[in-house]
Amino acid sequence: MNDIKFPVSDYMPDSCIPDGPIEQKWTKYKREAKLINPNNRRKYTVLIVGTGLAGGSAAATLAELGYNVKCFCYQDSPRRAHSIAAQGGINAAHNYQNDGDSVYRLFYDTIKGGDFRAREANVYRLAEVSCDIINQCVAQGVPFGREYGGLLDNRSFGGAQLKRTFYSRGQTGQQLLLGCYQAMEKEIGKGHIEMHPRTEMMDLVVVDGHAKGIVVRDLVTGEIKSYAGDTVLLATGGYGRVFFLSTNAMGCNVGAACACWKKGAYFANPCFTQIHPTCIPVKGDYQSKLTLMSESLRNDGRIWVPKSREVAEKIRKGEMKASDVAEGDRDYYLERKYPSFGNLAPRDISSRAAKEACDDERGVAPSGRGVFLDFKDAIKRMGKEWIDGQYGNLFEMYEEITDVDPHKEPMMIYPASHYTMGGLWVDYNLMSSIPGLHVLGEANFSDHGANRLGASALMQGLSDGYFVISATLPNYLTTQKPGSVTTAAPEFKEAEEAVKARIAQIMDVKGTKTPDEIHRELGKLIWEDVGMGRTKESLMHAIEKIPGIRDEFWKNVKVVGSTEGINMELEKAWRLAYFLDFAEVLCYDALNREESCGAHFRLEHQLPDGEAKRDDEHFAYVACWEYKGTGELPVLHKEPLTFDNVHLAIRSYK
Amino acid sequence: MAKLNLTLKVWRQENAQAQGRIETYQAKDIPEECSFLEMLDIVNESLVHEGKEPIHFDHDCREGICGMCSLTINGVPHGGKKVTTCQLHMRQFKDGDTIWIEPFRAKAFPILRDLMVDRSALDKIIASGGFVDVRTGAAPNANNMPVRKKTADAAFDAAACIGCGACVASCKNSSAMLFTSAKAAHLNLLPQGHPEKNKRVLAMVRQMDALGFGNCTNQYECEAACPKGISVDNIAKLNRDYMVACAAEAVAVYS
Amino acid sequence: MNDIITTACKFVTSSIGRKILVALTGSCLLLFLVGHLGGNLTIFGGDGTNPADPSWINAYATGLHTMPTWLLWAIRLGLLVIFLIHVVLTLVLKYENYNARTHYQMEGTLKATLSSRTMVITGVMVFCFLVFHLWQLTFNGDPANCYEHIRAAFTNPWCSLFYIVAICCLFMHVRHGVQSVMQTLGLSTRKIRPLYNIVAILFGIVVCGGFIAIPVAFLTGILQ
C-alpha cells in the first residue's frame, strides 16, 4: 500500500475573525459592519439555493430588509426541505430554567461536543444569537412546548448538563421550518421573493472570480436556465446520501455544493460525518432510506445483544424470540463498557459499540446488523402507561414500520448516517473562498467541529439565516456595483452549455445499470470503509474502488426518458454523478486526518480503553480541499484552529 | 418473510397536456415489510430494465413529515391508514390484491406527470395570510407573552398539518377547508397571531375561493384521510372566525 | 354604507358565506317542519273515542285560513324566499363543487355518510314532493273539509307510498343537515359532534316519523 502525499498549499484565505475578546467580537463586528441604504437594497439581487431553515430564514430576512431575492428549491414547495424532519429540539442560552445556563456555557458545550475542531469565534456567535432565534420563532407563532404557567418549557439533551432545549413535541424541525416558510410566503405574497420550486441548481457561474449566478434545470419542463445576481447564497444541506442509505430525504444531494467546489470553493473537513445510533435497521436491498428513532428512547431503553453467537444466530433466523433469551445470556454492552453513562453514551460512542457487537457476529437483525433496545425493565418499573406517555408516538411509528410491538419484544436498532458536519469552507462572513458565494447551514463546515450535539443543527441553520447573513452580506455587496453582471455575460452561456453537455453525456451512456443500483454500490463501499470505524487500509480500499464505480457510471448507467419534461431517473443520475465526484475527497480527508476526533474515528488512533485519541499538536486545523480535477489529488489548505477561551480537554463519558 | 404478488392499476400521463389512462402492471415478489413507495421503486427498477419509463411520483423525506408524497390508493388518499403513503407498508395488502394508484385529483392540483401533481395552490393560500407579520429581529423576549398551555397545545395540533393536500384529494368537493382552517386556527389561537386575525381569515378564505377549490359540505372525509389527524374542529372555527371578520370588516372602525 | 355593501357582496359570494346562508335557511326550514308537523298531528286529535274525528284538523286548517290574507301571504312569501335561497345556493355550490373536482377511476370513501353524499338527490326529491304536496293539499280544496281531503289522498296506497318515500328522503336530508348546520355555523367541536349526530337522527325520526304516521294510519285503518 503506497502512501498518498497530498499537495499542501501555504495559502489560506483570511477567516476574517474580528479581533478583541470573544464576548465582544460579534458586537464589534456589527458595530463596524457596512450598511446599505434601504432604497439601494432593492437594486441588489440575492440568489438563494435551498429553502430549509438556513435558506428559508435568509430569504425571508433579506426580503424583509428590501433586497431583491430569488429563491430556488428542488421540492414542490419551500415547506418541504429536510429540516422539517428534525425531531428533538433547538438549543438556546435563555436560562429560563435557572439552572445556570449562559452564552458561555452553550458555547463551551458546543465546542467540546465538537471535540475542539470548530472555530471559537463562530461558535460563540452562534451561542450569542441563540436567544434571538427563540424570540423570533415565538413571535412567528411557532408552538413550542409550554408549562402550565404559560411560559416556555425546556428539555435536556445529549452532551449538556442543563435544560436548554426548546421543543415542539417530536416535530421541532417541522414547526421551525413552517415558521420561516410562512415568513417566506409573506414576502412572496408581497412580491419581494421570486420563488422557483421544482428547480435544481446545476452549476455556479463565476464571473471575474466572483460568484454571480447559477444555472438551473426546471424539473418540470427540463429547461436549462440561468439566473444572475449580485451574490449567491448556498443553503443546500449536507451530503449524507453519499452513504446511499441515510436518514436524509431522497432528494438530498451534494450537487450544488460539489459544483461550487469544482468552481473553486474549498471543501472543509468532509470526513466529519455523523452516524446516529438509533435508527431502524436495514431490512433488504430494496430499502430506500433509514428511519431515525429519537435518541430520547435511550433514557429508558437498555441496549443489548446475546452473549453467544449461537443465540444471536437463532434470533436472526427467527428460531428464537428476544424475550426468550435469559437475563444471564444478555450482554448489555454499553452498561458494561461505560458504567457511568451506560445507555446514554454519546452518539459516536454508542454507534461504534453497536458496530463492534455486530462485527462479532452477535447482531440480531436478519441482516446481522442490528442490536436490541429493550423496554422490558422500564415497563416493569414504571408501568406501560408511563412509557406510552413518554414514547407513545415513537412506539406506534416503530410498530407501523416493523410490525413489532415494542411493549412485547424489544426494538431493533442500528446506526445510520444522519448529519454531515463538514461542508464548504466559509469565513466569519459565511463567505466561501469564492468571493460572493455565501454558504449557510449544514452546507457549510463552520460550527459543529467534528461532532454535532443534539438540538444544535436547527440553531445553526436559523442563526446563519436570520441573524448572521443579514449583518455580513453588506460587507460583500458594498464592494459590488448592483446588477453589474447579467445573464448576457459569456460565462453564463458557457456554464449552460457545460451543463447541457454533461446531461447529454449521461443520457448517451445507455448502459444497463440504473442510477440507484450504482448509488447503492457506492453507498455500501463508503459505509463499510468510511463509516463508523476507519483505518488506513479501509480508506485506501475505498480510494482504490471509487474510480471504478465512477467509470461504471459513465460507461454503464441507464437513464430512460428524455431531457425534456419531468425525468426522475435523470435527476437521480445527475445527483449521483456529483456524489461520485465528491466521494474521494471524503476518503482523502479521512486518510489525511491521522487522529480520532468526534465522529471521525480512526481505529489506529484510540486510547487503550477504546476512546478517541485526538492529536491537537498536528491536527488542530480545518482541512480545506481545493478541487484540481476529478481523479486528481485535491490540494490541502490548512486553517489553524486556536483556542484561547477553552481548555482542550479529553472527552470522557465513562 | 412473505412475498406478495400484486396487480397494479396505475394512472399514467406523460405530461400536463397529455391524455391520461390506467395501465396495468404486475408487481412480483414484493417483500411484505417494505413501504408502498419502496414497492413502486421495485416496480420502477424493473420497468427501467425493460427500457420503459418509470412511474413518476412525488416523494422526499420518506418518514412521513415533509408532505411531498401523495398517491390515491384504491380511491383513498394515502390509502386511508392515518399515515402518509411513504409510511404505508405492504403488509396492509394481501397476496393477489389489485391496487388502484391514482394521483391526488382536484382541478386546483393539475397533474404534471403520472402521479405527480402541482400543489402550489396551497402555498398561495399561505402567502395570502398564513403568517404572522413580524420582521426578523423585532421580536420581544419569548417569555414576555405567556400562552395558556391548552391554547398552545391546540395551536400545535392545528400546526401539525404537513400540507400534503390529502384533504383536498379526499374531499368529494375538492375543498381546501381543512388545510386553510388548520393554518388559520394555528395562528388565530395564539396571542402572537391575534392582531392580524380578521385580516388573515378574510384573505385566506378569499384566496382559497379564488383558486378554484370546492366548498365544504361537512362530510369529514378530509379528517379521515388526513395522515396527521387534523381535526374538522378547525373548519368550524374558521366558519366562526369568518363571520366575525366579515362583521368587523363591514361595520367596525377597527377591524 | 359602501363598506357594508361591499362586504355583504363578498360574503354572499364566498364559499363560507353561502354555506352559512344555506345553514341559516336550512334551520328555518327545520323549524317550519316542526310547526307543520304540530299542525298535522291534530289529525289524531279529537274526543278520543272516534278513530276519525275531523274536528281538530279542520279547525286547525280553518284557523290558518282565517288569519289576515296579507299575513298568510307574507308567511308564504317568507317561506318561499327562504326555500329559494336554500335551493338556489345549494345548487350553485354543487355546481361549483362538481367543477372543482376531477374524478377518480376508482372511488373510495372513508367516512362520508350516505346521507351526506346524497343531499342533492334527496333535496330534489323533497322539492318534487313539495310541489305535488302544495298542489294536492294546499291550493286545492276547502280548509273546512281538510280531513276529507287528506283521507281521500291517503287511502290511495300509491299516493301514500309516494309520501312515505319522500319523507324518507327528507329524513336522509335532515340527518346530515342538522349536524351540518351546527358545523357551518361554527358551533361544533369534536366533543359535541357525536351529540349533534344523535340529535340529528332523533330529530329526523320524530319529525319524519310524525309525518309518516298519517299515511300509515290511513293505510292500516287507525284513521278512517
pLDDT digits (tens, 9 = 90+) for C144-162: 888 888 988 998 999 999 9
Across the range C77-95, mean pLDDT stands at 96
3-state secondary structure B141-174: CHHHCCCCHHHHHHHHHHHCCCCCCHHHHHCCCC
Query: Which residues in C lie closer than 8 A to residue B173 (C-beta atoms)?
Result: 97, 100-101
Taking the CA of residue B155 and the nearest CA in chain A, the distance in Å comes to: 7
Query: What's the rounded Cα separation, in Å, for the pair A195 and A188?
Result: 7
Query: What's the rounded Cα separation, in Å, for the pair A66 and A46?
Result: 11
Supply A114's cell numbers: 465538537
Phi, psi of A228 (to 5 degrees): -105, 145
Across the range C205-222, mean pLDDT stands at 93
The answer to whether residues C33 and C207 touch, using CB atoms and an 8 Å cutoff, is yes
Residue A573 confidence (pLDDT) above 90: yes
Query: What's the rounded Cα separation, in Å, for the pair B156 and B189?
Result: 10
Q: What residues of A are annotated to the active site?
A: 347
DSSP one-letter code for A487: T
Could you tell me which chains touch chain C, where touching means 3 or more CB pairs under 8 A?
A: B
Query: Residue C205 — pLDDT band, cuts 50, 70, 90?
Result: very high
CA C212 vs CA A84, A421, B43, C150: distances in Å: 58, 75, 58, 13
Residue C50 confidence (pLDDT) above 80: no
pLDDT digits (tens, 9 = 90+) for C4-37: 899 999 999 999 999 999 999 999 999 999 999 9
Pairing verdict, β A193-196 and A371-374:
unpaired
Query: What's the rounded Cα separation, in Å, for the pair A271 and A411?
Result: 30
Closest CA relative to residue A14, chosen from A424, A475, A427: A427
Report CA dihedral (A326, A328, A331, A335) to the nearest 10 degrees: 120
Residue A546 confidence (pLDDT) above 60: yes
Position with higher pLDDT, C138 vs A570: A570
- Looking at the partner chain, which of B206, B219, B240 has a beta carbon nearest the beta carbon of C186? B240
Q: Write down the pLDDT at residue A453.
A: 86
Q: Do residue A566 and residue B51 have CB atoms under 8 angstroms apart? A: no
Question: What was the ipTM of the complex prediction?
Answer: 0.97
Taking the CA of residue B148 and the nearest CA in chain A, the distance in Å comes to: 5
Across the range A579-586, mean pLDDT stands at 97
- Residue C132 DSSP SS3: helix
Taking the CA of residue C181 and the nearest CA in chain B, the distance in Å comes to: 9
Position with higher pLDDT, B17 vs C139: B17
pLDDT digits (tens, 9 = 90+) for A347-391: 888 898 999 999 999 999 998 999 999 999 999 999 998 888 778
Query: Residue A425 — pLDDT band, cuts 50, 70, 90?
Result: very high
Mean pLDDT estimate for chain C: 92
Q: Which residues contact C134 (CB under 8 A, 6 or more apart)?
A: none
Q: Write down the pLDDT at residue C9.
A: 93
Query: Which residues in A lie closer than 8 A to residue B49 (C-beta atoms)?
Result: 512, 514, 558
Position with higher pLDDT, A178 vs B251: A178
CA C172 vs CA A488, C27, C38, C95, C116: distances in Å: 67, 15, 21, 21, 8
Q: Write down the pLDDT at residue A300.
A: 86
Mean pLDDT estimate for chain B: 96
User: 97-156 in B: which are within 8 Å (CB) of C?
Assistant: 100, 102, 105-108
- Residue-by-residue DSSP string for B82-104: SS-GGG-BGGGS-TT-EEEEEPP
- Residue-by-residue DSSP string for B206-240: HHHHHTT-----S--HHHHH-TT---THHHHHHHH
Percent of chain C with pLDDT over 70: 97
Residue A208 confidence (pLDDT) above 80: yes
Q: Write down the pLDDT at residue C48.
A: 58
Query: What's the rounded Cα separation, in Å, for the pair A94 and C200?
Result: 53
Closest CA relative to residue A442, chosen from A239, A598, A610, A241: A239
A357 CB neighbour count, 10 Å cutoff: 22
Scanning every residue of chain B, which has its alpha carbon at the shortest distance from the alpha carbon of A95? B143
- Looking at the partner chain, which of B214, B218, B221 has a beta carbon nearest the beta carbon of C97? B214
CA A535 vs CA A530, A538, A652, C107: distances in Å: 8, 5, 22, 57
Across the range A280-304, mean pLDDT stands at 88
Closest CA relative to residue A76, chosen from B70, B18, C104, B209: B70
Name beta bridge partners: A638: A623
- Looking at the partner chain, which of C10, C100, C109 has a beta carbon nearest the beta carbon of B108? C100
Q: Write down the pLDDT at residue A653.
A: 64
In chain C, which residue ranges form alpha helices assigned H by DSSP?
2-13, 15-40, 55-66, 69-100, 114-117, 119-133, 146-154, 157-184, 193-220
Check CB contact of B91 with chain A, cutoff 8 Å: yes
- Residue A93 DSSP SS3: coil
Query: What's the rounded Cα separation, in Å, for the pair A129 and A150?
Result: 24
The answer to whether residues B252 and B198 touch, using CB atoms and an 8 Å cutoff, is no
Supply A75's cell numbers: 421540492
User: 24-53 in B: which are within 8 Å (CB) of A?
Assistant: 31, 33-35, 37-38, 41-42, 45, 48-49, 51-53
Supply A150's cell numbers: 404559560
Phi, psi of A625 (to 5 degrees): -110, 130
Across the range A264-269, mean pLDDT stands at 98
